[in-house]
Amino acid sequence: MSSTLLTLVNKVLVTSGDSSPVTTVTGSVGGIAERITEFLNLTIGAIENRTNWAALRVNASGLASGNDDVFDFIGLEDVRSGGAVSVWIANKGLMQELTPEQFDTQLALQSNTGNSLFFQRGTSVTDGKFQIQLYPTPANGDVISVSAYKRATRFDSAVDTSTTEFDDDILVLGALMHLDSYDGLNRGYAALYQDQLNSDVMANMSNRGTRVEVDGYQ
């Protein structure tokens, strides 16, 4: 978990020597604090896409009625697009993810009966939130569990106390890297950022690549 936005902005300002610390982010001289906030958010996006971070893992479960095959889960509203997702039913095992085309083929070729074997991810047409669709339709009383990775929290320049899930060191180095690029400088922050990111990825290797680890799904 990071320090507050205001603390991070001032760390970047002090380290870069570009400006004195600020007392609030919004309304800074020349918009420097707001610009650093944008650089911090760019850094968050790049870090987020590098691997499956334990700090972003979210889990949810729900009970099937026997009538529905599409499910929304509280806590999974902001699942990262393209991130790893695992779905399983208690005592029945892990399901295989299919592309929309593969899923449609299953619907066309097989009857919608029996134990659920496959799922596809999607978004709700009403609110754009994350959904899964199962095939075949799960039985009444089936406990459906999902493990996935959410989008990291972005900073809001209007909220000095906002935080995100990543640590200060990588965020500050990333912002300094972007600041150098903006100013046309090369002070070595890009290399330091990359070294720190590689180190953080190695420390996060318990996620084992792109697969979500599921504990005791059977």
Mean pLDDT, range 201-207, rounded to an integer: 80
pLDDT of res. 129: 83
pLDDT of res. 145: 95
pLDDT of res. 215: 45
Answer yes or no: are the C-beta atoms of 56 and 149 closer than 8 Å.
Answer: yes
**Percent with pLDDT over 70 in the chain:** 92
**Burial label, 175 (beta-carbon count in 10 A; 0-12, 13-18, 19+):** buried
**Percent with pLDDT over 90 in the chain:** 72
No. of H helices and E strands in the chain?
A: 5, 8
Q: Is the dihedral of CA 176, 181, 183, 189 positive or negative?
A: positive
Threshold 0.75, pTM exceeds:
yes
CB within 8 Å of 37: residues ≥ 6 apart: 5, 9, 25, 155, 157
Instruction: Give, as one character, the DSSP assignment of residue 46.
Output: H
DSSP 106-129: HHHHS-S-SS--EEEEEE-TTT--
Summarize pLDDT for 166-203 with one digit per residue, the tens.
Answer: 999 999 999 999 999 999 999 999 999 999 999 999 99
Angle between helical axes of 189-203 and 32-48 (0-180°, round to 10): 40
Summarize pLDDT for 120-177 with one digit per residue, the tens.
Answer: 998 888 888 889 999 988 999 999 999 999 999 999 999 999 999 999 999 999 999 9
